[in-house]
Amino acid sequence: MKNQFIAGLKAGLSIAIGYFPIALTFGLLAKTTGLSLMEATAMSIFVYAGAAQYISLNLISFGVDPVTIVINTFIVNIRHFLMTASLNEKMHRAPKWVKAIYSFGITDESFSVLATGKEEKIPTAYAFGVTIIAYGSWVIFTAAGHVVGANLPEFLQVAMSIALYAMFIGLLVPAMKGNRKVVMLAALAAVIHCIIYIGELLSTGWAILVSTLGSAILIEIIYARRSKNATVMFKEKEES
Amino acid sequence: MGPTYWWMLFGMALVTYIPRMVPLTFLDGKELPPIVSGVLSNIPYAVLGALIFPAIIFVQEGNILFGIIGVATAFLIAILGGGVMPVVLGTIGVLAIYSFFM
């Protein structure tokens, strides 16, 4: 169990490093938005959701009322329903309260690291390892960003804004290799999201939810039909 | 910011935690129909596609080239077999050089 925990810490290290620039930038932006060190760090401690936190800063700076900000946060995070329902299929069984604890650490990134792993079933200790190191990085570097972020050279601050997305690509590409279904899932979701974006049909939170679910369902139907056809063809061959 | 901020934080924490916690704890041990679990196992890859595009292209407002260089670099390093860390740090490196000279 201890080994699984350490293996989890190692797998989570890439997230922790990926969070470094993102959290640092968040801390910096929080400061320019007018949050104190304690307020900014507390948001990372208690909310712990990168995209939602960035959006909330934006809304705070526009003077949007707190209730709207909370509703917005919920909409942005609805996608986690899908992720944790999906992850549940892969996790080792554990007491409810244990799962309730590590579920706090499920983010886009920790979910991706856990769900795209090679293992058939994920041990609970491994999940704790992945989530704890990522969470620690997020909280510590939020505070660091608030304190020293503004001293970083401008070109580096700009470059670091790519970190989150580069990380997603780093997680996706290895799974795409030799797996056509994965390529189609990601590509279709991306296309749907782009269409929604260009048509200004939905807000970002809903758009991610709809494009993810749309792609996952459509591709599943295509593959289910295809494997059915394959068995039919196979049977016809046998009969003739 | 005052006490309003802390109430808002409490609300944000709650609505972020619920979607994470509820499926993991309450679906535990329940057998789902094969088509549902098939769709759920597709989610990780679909969500990555939706998270990356189109947001990465517009990561620097008004500078699409920045996003395109970012996409190209990250995909290149990843296809060449770099892990998550080389992809993240390499892409930041390339864009840092780009931003420095622009």
Q: What integer pLDDT is reported at residue A237 of this predicted model?
A: 54
Pair (A10, A126) in one structural domain? yes
CB–CB contact B42 A13 (8 Å):
no
- Residue B42 inside a domain? The answer is yes
Q: Looking at this predicted complex, what is its ipTM?
A: 0.89
- Residue B4 inside a domain? The answer is no
**A216 → closest Cβ in B7, B43, B73:** B43
| Minimum CA–CA partner of A156 in chain B | B96
Pair (A48, A132) in one structural domain? yes
CB–CB contact B84 A48 (8 Å):
no
Q: What confidence tier does A235 reach under pLDDT thresholds 50, 70, 90?
A: low
Q: Check residues A234 and B58 and name the one with the higher pLDDT.
A: B58
Q: What confidence tier does A163 reach under pLDDT thresholds 50, 70, 90?
A: confident
Backbone angles phi, psi at A172, to 5 degrees: -75, -45
pLDDT over 60 at A239, yes or no: no
Is B54's Cβ below 8 Å from some Cβ in A? yes
Burial of A15 (0-12, 13-18, 19+ CB in 10 A): buried
- Residue B79 inside a domain? The answer is yes
Pair (A126, A11) in one structural domain? yes
Asked if B48 and A112 count as a contact pair (C-beta separation under 8 A), the reply is: yes
Q: What confidence tier does A59 reach under pLDDT thresholds 50, 70, 90?
A: confident
pLDDT tens per residue across all 102 residues of chain B: 788 999 999 999 999 999 999 999 988 777 778 888 888 889 889 989 998 999 899 988 889 999 999 999 999 999 999 888 899 889 999 999 999 998
Q: Is the dihedral of CA A120, A126, A128, A133 positive or negative?
A: negative
Pair (A37, A88) in one structural domain? yes
Find, among A70, A27, A61, A3, the residue nearest to A160 by Cα. A27
Tokens 């999940």 belong to which residue?
A127
Last residue of a domain, one of A173, A199, A227: A173
- A223 vs B38: CA distance, rounded Å: 10
Asked if B22 and A80 count as a contact pair (C-beta separation under 8 A), the reply is: no
Q: What confidence tier does A71 reach under pLDDT thresholds 50, 70, 90?
A: confident
Pair (A204, A225) in one structural domain? yes
pLDDT over 80 at A231, yes or no: no
* DSSP assignments along B3-45, one per residue: HHHHHHHHHHHHHHHHHHHHHHHHSTTPPPPHHHHHHHHHHHH
pLDDT over 80 at A186, yes or no: yes
Pair (A164, A98) in one structural domain? yes
Q: Is the dihedral of CA B76, B79, B81, B87 positive or negative?
A: positive
Q: Which of residues 110-149 of A touch B (CB under 8 A)?
A: 111-113, 115-116
CB–CB contact A217 B4 (8 Å):
no
- Residue B19 inside a domain? The answer is no
CB–CB contact B16 A52 (8 Å):
yes
Last residue of a domain, one of A131, A151, A173: A173
Burial A101-134 (b: 16+ CB within 10 A, else e): bbbbbbbbbbbbbbbeeeeeebbbbbbbbbbbbb
Q: What integer pLDDT is reported at residue B28 of this predicted model?
A: 73
CB atoms within 10 A of CB A162: 28
Pair (A168, A191) in one structural domain? no
Distance from CA of B55 to the nearest CA of A (A): 8
Average pLDDT in the A196-209 region? 87
Chain A residues whose beta carbon lies within 8 Å of the beta carbon of residue B11: 66-67, 70, 73
Q: Which domain holds residue A77?
A: 2-173
- Residue B88 inside a domain? The answer is yes
| Minimum CA–CA partner of B31 in chain A | A89
Is B3's Cβ below 8 Å from some Cβ in A? no
Average pLDDT in the A65-75 region? 88
- Residue B52 inside a domain? The answer is yes
Asked if A205 and A69 count as a contact pair (C-beta separation under 8 A), the reply is: no
CB–CB contact A173 B39 (8 Å):
no
Q: Alpha-carbon Rg of chain B, whole angstroms?
A: 20
Pair (A102, A135) in one structural domain? yes
Pair (A141, A212) in one structural domain? no
Least confident of A88-102, A107-121, A170-184: A107-121
Pair (A161, A104) in one structural domain? yes
pLDDT over 90 at A162, yes or no: no
| Minimum CA–CA partner of A209 in chain B | B47
Tokens 């292209």 belong to which residue?
B57
> What's at A13, amino acid-wise?
L
Q: What confidence tier does A79 reach under pLDDT thresholds 50, 70, 90?
A: confident
Asked if B37 and A82 count as a contact pair (C-beta separation under 8 A), the reply is: no
Is A37's Cβ below 8 Å from some Cβ in B? no
Q: Which domain holds residue B63?
A: 31-101
Burial of B79 (0-12, 13-18, 19+ CB in 10 A): middle
Pair (A66, A115) in one structural domain? yes
Find, among A150, A165, A156, A141, the residue nearest to A40 by Cα. A141
Q: What integer pLDDT is reported at residue A134 of this predicted model?
A: 97
Q: What integer pLDDT is reported at residue A183 of this predicted model?
A: 97
Backbone angles phi, psi at B2, to 5 degrees: 85, -175
Is A93's Cβ below 8 Å from some Cβ in B? yes
pLDDT over 90 at A14, yes or no: no
Q: What integer pLDDT is reported at residue A89 of this predicted model?
A: 87
| Minimum CA–CA partner of A21 in chain B | B92
Q: What confidence tier does A157 reach under pLDDT thresholds 50, 70, 90?
A: confident
- Residue B18 inside a domain? The answer is no
Last residue of a domain, one of A154, A173, A192: A173
3-state SS assignment for residue A1: coil
CB–CB contact B79 A173 (8 Å):
yes
Count of domains forming chain A: 2
Q: How is chain B split among helix, strand and coil, in percent rounded to 5?
A: 80, 0, 20
Pair (A187, A149) in one structural domain? no
